[in-house]
Structure 1
Amino acid sequence: MTATAPRTTTRRSTSDAGPGDAVGTGHAACHHGEILQGVFLDERGRPCQALVTLPMNGPGSTAHFTLRPGTPPDDVRVTPAGRTKARAAAVLALRECAARLSAAPCGGVLTLTGDIPVGLGMGSSTSDVIATVRAVADAWGVRLAPRTIAGLAVRAEGASDPLMLAPGPPLLFAQREGRTLEALGPALPPAVVLGCALGGGAPVDTLALPAPAYDARDLDTYEHLRRMLRRAVSDGDSALLGRVGTASARLGQRRLTHGEFPVLTRIADRAGAVGVQIAHSGNVAGVLFDPRPPGLNARLRRCARDLEREGITPTRVFTTHPSPNSPISPKSHHPTPSEDSSRGRAHLGSHRPAGPDTSRRRTRLPAV
């Protein structure tokens, strides 16, 4: 691929950049866990781990990268310290971009800011990695295709959510291979999501979890859920979307074992929700509502109150399918998956927090 105009910010000098240095910026949004995750057949009939994320704009990672010509390509300083996956992504992206320009690779300085809670299964590390790759490419003046970014992300962290392809249609994405198995349709069915944090909002150490183990019966089950989700997307069937999310979350309990899962599903049923979804690598969860029947606001309020009574912290309300006729006021919800957060203001306010506010005082949700 040849060099083109930068994706986001043109090369410029700053007070921190020395003579001849170039600075690039990149941004990536997060997601709200998965609607479906398991094992599926790829185009060659080979079993392959894959997932369908629940997109959500709002929180995200922003990366600023300053090239330091003449330094070794693995000499990358990162702020905050400890973002080892982002650092690995920067080194890989530096070599990739330099090779495309037939230039000598060099090191640089990476600064990450954002507001994605860590360890809840919202794609915080992938967001860091993608923002970093975009910032490095921007500093070089190179545009990288999403599939190239996906390959670099998988090499940097071992697996990657499909955030480099957002916003876009729902995808069944092979996270350990960085490729799409299937585009399921134009958009997820309309759903309003009441987000919450399980496990007291504590981060989950995914490396300490048992590795997923699937057998032939699991493959049949997940392929059935794949067909259901495909039909839900094609028909705009919110109830079927909820059934898929709940079934996938229930299967995921074999690995995550959330003690609140029975309570969460019981509250969802009582509130008239269509289902639930839970991140397969963390404690973030959502109760899914069809926005079209009357009384949505009352159901959301009741559900939030019931969650709090059970010690489950409500966190946010957002929708998968914004429209002019949405029952949620534009002033009252977080940005939605159809809004391209990369075109809005970057999240520059603070370093990413370690987790949500999980105090037992009443959570202030957007008015609905």
Structure 2
Amino acid sequence: MRGSGFAIGHHGEILQGVFRDEDNRLHRGLVTLPFPPRYSIAVAEPIDGIEVLVSPKHKTKSREAARLVLDENGYSGMGIKLTLNSNIQEGFGLGSSTTDVVATIRATASLLGLQLKDSTIFRLAVRAEAASDGTMFTGNPRLVCPREGTVLERFERRIPEFSLISVNVAPNRPVDTLAHPPNRYTGDEIKEFGELRKLLRRALENGSLDDLGEIATRSAVINQRYLPQPHFHSLLELSQSTSAFGLQVAHSGRMVGMFLDPRLEKEDKSVEHIQRELLRLNLFSEFFRSSQTSV
């Protein structure tokens, strides 16, 4: 008997900041950019004893997530061994921690014969790792509160199709998310986040990559004041001088994405031009078609 769980990663955020709820209270929130090419798989199986073991051993947040599932459902049976496999490099803003935790929660629930709601998985993930992305939600994007485990807004339309040039701008300088203190935004920045939230509704309603690129770029520019990314201004100039719709970043990582027309192929001249310019900056990039980056 065993249970398995699968979870996708992300490529940073489209929008991250502080947002007001219906009662005008402020909450830290983000809209994740799902990225199915990166993922984690977890397998849970019973073992003798009462321990919860995890492999690799350093995946302590996953062990805590499994214990939370067991405790919340009154499990008092045998011990559990969790085995995790992932193609996500840790510390660069691809959601390695949340992806492991979500896969673990799903595998543990599967072992127990449970079907958990995405909202429950989100709440458990936040308890296990203190701050979680919204990658457990599929379909329409959400504005989620990563430290509260709640959803501020579920948008009415999906993210429009796009292609993406992906760049790790500091492959030797990972970011410890929990060691990075939450940003203390100014009043003007909080006002801008509210404007970007409204623009995101419109962008999704109209399927506008132009607006989506503007939102992501403006959010990235604000974040640059708090977690500066190497080469950011060069990348911004490159995106503005080419056919790119804008930049998006991992707000607590090192990944930068450049939005492109979903119809482009890797061999298109515009893609090759951008990748050559990135090589001039000593940056290795990857190209992903929209069919690979949608859920």
- TM-score range, shorter-chain basis? over 0.9
SS at match of 2:248: strand
**What percent identity do the matched residue pairs reach?**
39
SS at match of 2:32: strand
Partner residue in 1 for 2:171: 200
- Larger radius of gyration, structure 1 or 2? 1
Partner residue in 1 for 2:293: 336
SS at match of 1:281: coil
1:175 maps onto 2:146 in alignment: yes
SS at match of 2:54: strand
Q: Give yes or no for contact 1:194–1:318 (8 Å, CA) kept in 2.
A: no
Partner residue in 2 for 1:79: 55
1:312 maps onto 2:283 in alignment: yes
TM-score by length of 2: 0.94
Q: Give yes or no for contact 2:53–2:80 (8 Å, CA) kept in 1.
A: yes
1:261 Cα offset (Å): 0.5
Partner residue in 2 for 1:163: 135
Partner residue in 2 for 1:124: 96
Q: Give yes or no for contact 2:265–2:271 (8 Å, CA) kept in 1.
A: no
CA distance in 1, matches of 2:192, 2:258: 23
- 1:210-250, Cα deviation, whole Å (9 max, x unpaired): 32112332221100111111111111111111111110001
Partner residue in 1 for 2:13: 34
Partner residue in 2 for 1:19: none
AA paired with 1:281? S
1:272 maps onto 2:243 in alignment: yes
1:152 maps onto 2:124 in alignment: yes
CA shift in 2, pair 1:114/1:200, >3 Å? closer
AA paired with 2:52? V
Structure 1 or 2: larger strand share?
2
- 1:15-50, Cα deviation, whole Å (9 max, x unpaired): xxxxxxxx1111101011101000001232210011
AA paired with 2:29? A
Matches within 5 A, 1:1-368: 12=1, 23-68=2-47, 71-72=49-50, 75-97=51-73, 99=74, 103-166=75-138, 168-200=139-171, 202-291=173-262, 297-319=268-290, 322=291, 335-338=292-295
Equivalences, count: 295
AA paired with 1:94? L
Q: Which runs of 5+ in 1 are unaligned?
A: 1-11, 13-22, 323-334, 339-368
CA distance in 2, matches of 1:180, 1:296: 40
Q: Give yes or no for contact 1:118–1:203 (8 Å, CA) kept in 2.
A: yes
CA distance in 2, matches of 1:149, 1:138: 13
Poorly superposed stretches of 4+, deviation over 4 Å: 292-296
AA paired with 1:131? A
- 1:105-128, Cα deviation, whole Å (9 max, x unpaired): 553111101101111111110010
SS at match of 1:182: strand
CA distance in 1, matches of 2:285, 2:266: 19
1:316 Cα offset (Å): 3.4
TM-score by length of 1: 0.76
Query: RMSD in angstroms over aligned alpha carbons?
Result: 1.9
Q: Give yes or no for contact 1:239–1:290 (8 Å, CA) kept in 2.
A: no
Please identify, of 180-189 and 279-288, the stretch whose mean Cα deviation from structure 2 is larger: 180-189
Please identify, of 232-241 and 176-185, the stretch whose mean Cα deviation from structure 2 is larger: 176-185
